[in-house]
Amino acid sequence: MNILVTNDDGIHAEGLLALKSALERSGKVYVVAPDRPRSACGHSITLHKPLRADEVRLRDGSTAYASNGTPSDCVSLALLGLIEEPIDLVVAGINRGPNLGWDLTYSGTVSAAMEGAIMGVQSFAISVTADRTDVDYTPTASFAAWLAALLQEQRLPADTLLNVNVPALPIDQIKGVRITRQGQRRYTGNVVKRLDPSGRAYYWLGGDTVVDKLDEGTDVKAIADGYISVSPIHLDLTDYNTLREMFSWGIQNFDVRNLG
Protein backbone atom coordinates (compact mmCIF):
# COMPACT_ATOMS: atom_id res chain seq x y z
CA MET A 1 0.00 0.00 0.00
CA ASN A 2 1.27 3.48 -0.91
CA ILE A 3 0.31 6.10 1.66
CA LEU A 4 0.52 9.87 1.32
CA VAL A 5 1.01 11.75 4.58
CA THR A 6 0.44 15.46 4.92
CA ASN A 7 -0.61 17.86 7.67
CA ASP A 8 -1.33 21.50 8.44
CA ASP A 9 1.20 21.92 11.27
CA GLY A 10 4.10 21.96 8.81
CA ILE A 11 6.74 19.57 7.52
CA HIS A 12 8.80 19.64 10.72
CA ALA A 13 5.92 19.00 13.11
CA GLU A 14 6.48 16.14 15.50
CA GLY A 15 3.01 14.70 14.82
CA LEU A 16 3.83 14.25 11.13
CA LEU A 17 6.93 12.19 11.87
CA ALA A 18 5.11 10.09 14.48
CA LEU A 19 2.38 9.35 11.95
CA LYS A 20 4.85 8.51 9.19
CA SER A 21 6.80 6.12 11.40
CA ALA A 22 3.65 4.31 12.52
CA LEU A 23 2.22 4.01 8.99
CA GLU A 24 5.45 2.49 7.70
CA ARG A 25 4.20 -0.75 9.31
CA SER A 26 1.39 -0.78 6.71
CA GLY A 27 3.07 0.38 3.54
CA LYS A 28 5.35 2.76 1.72
CA VAL A 29 4.87 6.28 3.04
CA TYR A 30 5.35 9.45 0.99
CA VAL A 31 5.35 12.84 2.69
CA VAL A 32 4.29 16.09 1.03
CA ALA A 33 3.51 18.78 3.59
CA PRO A 34 3.44 22.56 3.94
CA ASP A 35 6.80 24.17 4.58
CA ARG A 36 5.32 26.17 7.50
CA PRO A 37 2.42 25.92 9.94
CA ARG A 38 -0.91 26.31 8.13
CA SER A 39 -3.43 25.54 10.85
CA ALA A 40 -6.95 26.88 10.30
CA CYS A 41 -6.33 27.55 6.61
CA GLY A 42 -9.39 25.49 5.71
CA HIS A 43 -9.64 24.21 2.17
CA SER A 44 -7.83 27.12 0.55
CA ILE A 45 -5.83 26.43 -2.60
CA THR A 46 -3.07 28.35 -4.35
CA LEU A 47 -3.97 29.58 -7.82
CA HIS A 48 -2.15 32.86 -8.34
CA LYS A 49 1.47 32.09 -7.57
CA PRO A 50 3.89 29.28 -8.35
CA LEU A 51 3.78 26.21 -6.14
CA ARG A 52 7.07 24.74 -5.00
CA ALA A 53 7.84 21.30 -3.67
CA ASP A 54 11.39 21.13 -2.37
CA GLU A 55 13.07 17.97 -1.22
CA VAL A 56 13.90 18.12 2.46
CA ARG A 57 15.32 15.66 4.94
CA LEU A 58 13.17 14.63 7.88
CA ARG A 59 14.64 13.86 11.29
CA ASP A 60 14.48 10.10 10.58
CA GLY A 61 16.83 10.67 7.61
CA SER A 62 14.15 10.10 4.96
CA THR A 63 13.35 12.44 2.07
CA ALA A 64 10.09 14.38 1.92
CA TYR A 65 8.63 17.27 -0.04
CA ALA A 66 8.01 20.65 1.61
CA SER A 67 5.63 22.89 -0.31
CA ASN A 68 4.82 26.58 -0.05
CA GLY A 69 1.20 25.57 -0.70
CA THR A 70 -1.64 24.67 1.63
CA PRO A 71 -2.43 21.16 2.88
CA SER A 72 -4.98 20.80 0.09
CA ASP A 73 -2.34 21.90 -2.45
CA CYS A 74 0.01 19.26 -1.08
CA VAL A 75 -2.54 16.50 -1.70
CA SER A 76 -3.25 17.78 -5.22
CA LEU A 77 0.46 18.04 -6.05
CA ALA A 78 1.17 14.56 -4.77
CA LEU A 79 -1.76 12.84 -6.47
CA LEU A 80 -1.36 14.73 -9.75
CA GLY A 81 2.13 13.44 -10.32
CA LEU A 82 4.70 14.69 -7.81
CA ILE A 83 4.55 11.19 -6.36
CA GLU A 84 4.91 8.85 -9.32
CA GLU A 85 3.47 5.79 -7.56
CA PRO A 86 -0.33 5.46 -7.32
CA ILE A 87 -1.52 6.48 -3.83
CA ASP A 88 -3.95 4.14 -2.04
CA LEU A 89 -4.53 6.16 1.11
CA VAL A 90 -4.18 9.79 2.21
CA VAL A 91 -3.64 10.43 5.91
CA ALA A 92 -3.53 13.99 7.30
CA GLY A 93 -2.03 14.62 10.72
CA ILE A 94 -1.29 14.01 13.41
CA ASN A 95 -2.76 17.41 14.12
CA ARG A 96 -1.73 18.93 17.43
CA GLY A 97 -5.10 19.97 18.78
CA PRO A 98 -8.67 18.76 18.32
CA ASN A 99 -10.74 18.85 15.13
CA LEU A 100 -14.25 18.51 16.51
CA GLY A 101 -17.64 19.95 15.66
CA TRP A 102 -17.40 23.22 13.78
CA ASP A 103 -13.58 22.96 13.78
CA LEU A 104 -13.92 20.84 10.64
CA THR A 105 -14.96 23.92 8.68
CA TYR A 106 -11.68 25.69 9.47
CA SER A 107 -9.29 22.76 9.63
CA GLY A 108 -6.44 22.42 7.16
CA THR A 109 -5.96 18.84 8.36
CA VAL A 110 -9.53 17.80 7.59
CA SER A 111 -9.45 19.73 4.31
CA ALA A 112 -6.41 17.75 3.19
CA ALA A 113 -8.36 14.53 3.74
CA MET A 114 -11.33 16.09 1.90
CA GLU A 115 -9.08 16.80 -1.06
CA GLY A 116 -8.02 13.15 -1.05
CA ALA A 117 -11.67 12.08 -1.08
CA ILE A 118 -12.46 14.54 -3.89
CA MET A 119 -9.67 12.93 -5.90
CA GLY A 120 -11.14 9.49 -5.31
CA VAL A 121 -8.57 8.21 -2.80
CA GLN A 122 -9.50 6.80 0.60
CA SER A 123 -8.57 9.41 3.21
CA PHE A 124 -8.66 10.19 6.88
CA ALA A 125 -7.67 13.07 9.12
CA ILE A 126 -6.31 12.37 12.59
CA SER A 127 -5.77 14.67 15.56
CA VAL A 128 -4.72 14.41 19.17
CA THR A 129 -6.94 16.64 21.26
CA ALA A 130 -4.38 18.72 23.14
CA ASP A 131 -2.09 21.36 21.76
CA ARG A 132 0.55 21.13 24.50
CA THR A 133 4.07 21.01 23.07
CA ASP A 134 4.84 17.90 25.16
CA VAL A 135 1.80 15.92 23.97
CA ASP A 136 2.47 12.18 23.46
CA TYR A 137 1.72 11.16 19.86
CA THR A 138 2.25 7.43 20.46
CA PRO A 139 -1.37 6.34 21.09
CA THR A 140 -2.67 8.40 18.16
CA ALA A 141 0.02 7.09 15.81
CA SER A 142 -0.73 3.48 16.82
CA PHE A 143 -4.44 3.97 16.14
CA ALA A 144 -3.66 5.54 12.75
CA ALA A 145 -1.62 2.47 11.78
CA TRP A 146 -4.43 0.15 12.86
CA LEU A 147 -7.02 2.16 10.92
CA ALA A 148 -4.84 2.30 7.81
CA ALA A 149 -4.62 -1.50 7.84
CA LEU A 150 -8.40 -1.77 8.33
CA LEU A 151 -9.03 0.47 5.32
CA GLN A 152 -7.31 -2.09 3.11
CA GLU A 153 -10.25 -4.42 3.82
CA GLN A 154 -13.14 -2.04 4.53
CA ARG A 155 -13.41 0.49 1.76
CA LEU A 156 -14.95 3.90 2.36
CA PRO A 157 -17.72 4.87 -0.06
CA ALA A 158 -17.08 7.60 -2.64
CA ASP A 159 -17.01 11.21 -1.41
CA THR A 160 -16.55 10.10 2.19
CA LEU A 161 -13.61 10.50 4.56
CA LEU A 162 -12.97 9.77 8.20
CA ASN A 163 -12.24 12.35 10.87
CA VAL A 164 -10.43 10.82 13.84
CA ASN A 165 -9.70 12.41 17.21
CA VAL A 166 -7.72 10.71 19.96
CA PRO A 167 -7.98 12.04 23.51
CA ALA A 168 -4.69 13.37 24.87
CA LEU A 169 -4.69 10.94 27.78
CA PRO A 170 -2.24 8.31 29.03
CA ILE A 171 -2.92 5.02 27.21
CA ASP A 172 -4.45 3.36 30.28
CA GLN A 173 -7.02 6.15 30.55
CA ILE A 174 -8.31 5.93 26.96
CA LYS A 175 -11.58 4.06 27.36
CA GLY A 176 -12.24 2.77 23.85
CA VAL A 177 -13.40 3.83 20.40
CA ARG A 178 -16.73 5.38 19.45
CA ILE A 179 -18.19 5.84 15.99
CA THR A 180 -19.59 9.36 16.06
CA ARG A 181 -21.27 12.13 14.12
CA GLN A 182 -20.00 15.67 13.86
CA GLY A 183 -21.12 17.55 16.95
CA GLN A 184 -21.28 21.20 17.83
CA ARG A 185 -18.35 23.09 19.20
CA ARG A 186 -17.94 26.78 18.91
CA TYR A 187 -15.68 29.39 20.38
CA THR A 188 -17.05 32.36 22.21
CA GLY A 189 -15.86 34.79 19.60
CA ASN A 190 -14.43 38.10 20.63
CA VAL A 191 -12.30 40.72 19.01
CA VAL A 192 -9.54 42.49 20.89
CA LYS A 193 -8.83 45.94 19.54
CA ARG A 194 -5.42 47.51 20.11
CA LEU A 195 -3.46 50.40 18.72
CA ASP A 196 -0.13 50.02 16.97
CA PRO A 197 2.74 52.47 17.70
CA SER A 198 1.49 54.80 14.96
CA GLY A 199 -1.97 54.94 16.55
CA ARG A 200 -3.67 52.79 13.93
CA ALA A 201 -6.06 50.12 15.16
CA TYR A 202 -5.38 46.41 14.82
CA TYR A 203 -7.45 43.44 15.92
CA TRP A 204 -6.94 39.97 17.34
CA LEU A 205 -9.67 37.45 16.65
CA GLY A 206 -10.09 35.68 19.97
CA GLY A 207 -12.12 32.62 20.77
CA ASP A 208 -10.30 30.76 23.49
CA THR A 209 -13.37 29.61 25.37
CA VAL A 210 -14.77 26.48 23.81
CA VAL A 211 -18.47 25.74 24.14
CA ASP A 212 -19.22 22.09 23.42
CA LYS A 213 -22.76 20.80 23.08
CA LEU A 214 -22.34 17.38 24.65
CA ASP A 215 -25.02 15.45 22.72
CA GLU A 216 -24.82 11.65 22.81
CA GLY A 217 -23.26 10.16 19.71
CA THR A 218 -21.16 13.18 18.83
CA ASP A 219 -17.42 13.59 18.42
CA VAL A 220 -17.24 16.20 21.19
CA LYS A 221 -19.04 13.88 23.63
CA ALA A 222 -16.78 10.91 22.84
CA ILE A 223 -13.67 12.99 23.53
CA ALA A 224 -15.20 14.47 26.70
CA ASP A 225 -15.83 10.88 27.87
CA GLY A 226 -12.25 9.75 27.13
CA TYR A 227 -12.96 7.80 23.94
CA ILE A 228 -11.31 7.85 20.52
CA SER A 229 -13.81 9.39 18.07
CA VAL A 230 -14.17 8.22 14.45
CA SER A 231 -16.65 10.17 12.30
CA PRO A 232 -17.55 9.47 8.68
CA ILE A 233 -17.72 12.82 6.90
CA HIS A 234 -19.45 13.36 3.56
CA LEU A 235 -18.41 15.99 1.04
CA ASP A 236 -22.07 16.77 0.26
CA LEU A 237 -22.99 19.68 2.54
CA THR A 238 -26.62 19.80 1.40
CA ASP A 239 -29.22 19.74 4.15
CA TYR A 240 -31.81 17.36 2.71
CA ASN A 241 -34.49 18.10 5.33
CA THR A 242 -34.43 21.80 4.50
CA LEU A 243 -34.22 21.04 0.79
CA ARG A 244 -37.52 19.12 0.96
CA GLU A 245 -39.14 21.84 3.07
CA MET A 246 -38.05 24.61 0.70
CA PHE A 247 -40.21 23.25 -2.09
CA SER A 248 -43.22 24.64 -0.17
CA TRP A 249 -41.64 28.11 -0.03
CA GLY A 250 -42.32 28.74 -3.71
CA ILE A 251 -38.74 29.70 -4.59
CA GLN A 252 -38.95 27.60 -7.75
CA ASN A 253 -42.04 29.61 -8.81
CA PHE A 254 -40.06 32.84 -9.09
CA ASP A 255 -40.88 34.46 -12.43
CA VAL A 256 -37.54 35.10 -14.18
CA ARG A 257 -39.19 37.90 -16.17
CA ASN A 258 -38.88 39.93 -12.90
CA LEU A 259 -35.05 39.83 -13.09
CA GLY A 260 -34.80 43.04 -15.12
Distance between CA atoms of residues 96 and 156, nearest Å: 25
Residues near 20 by beta carbon (within 8 Å), at least 6 away in sequence: 5, 29, 31, 58, 60, 62
Q: Which helix (H) or strand (E) holds 193?
A: strand 191-195
Q: How many residues does the chain have?
A: 260
Give the nearest residue (CB) to Mn ion.
39
Span interacting with Mn ion, options 47-55, 95-103, 129-137, 174-182, rule CB under 5 A: 95-103
Span interacting with Mn ion, options 87-95, 113-121, 145-153, 158-166, rule CB under 5 A: 87-95
Among 6, 70, 95, 111, binds Mn ion (CB under 5 A): 95
DSSP 80: I
Distance between CA atoms of residues 34 and 32, nearest Å: 7
> Which sign, positive or negative, has the C-alpha torsion 140, 16, 91, 42?
positive
Considering the rule CB under 5 A, would residue 103 count as an interface residue with Mn ion?
no
Considering the rule CB under 5 A, would residue 111 count as an interface residue with Mn ion?
no
Question: Of the two residues 39 and 229, which places its CB atom closer to Mn ion in the complex?
Answer: 39
Considering the rule CB under 5 A, would residue 73 count as an interface residue with Mn ion?
no
Question: Of the two residues 26 and 141, which places its CB atom closer to Mn ion in the complex?
Answer: 141
Considering the rule CB under 5 A, would residue 9 count as an interface residue with Mn ion?
yes
Q: Are strands 53-57 and 2-6 parallel, antiparallel or unpaired?
A: unpaired
Span interacting with Mn ion, options 8-16, 23-31, 41-49, 73-81, rule CB under 5 A: 8-16
Considering the rule CB under 5 A, would residue 8 count as an interface residue with Mn ion?
yes
Number of residues that bind Mn ion (CB under 5 A): 4
3-state SS assignment for residue 69: coil
Considering the rule CB under 5 A, would residue 72 count as an interface residue with Mn ion?
no
3-state SS assignment for residue 71: helix
Q: How far is the CB of 130 from Mn ion (least distance, A)?
A: 12
Q: How far is the CB of 11 from Mn ion (least distance, A)?
A: 13
Per CB under 5 A, residues contacting Mn ion are 8-9, 39, 95
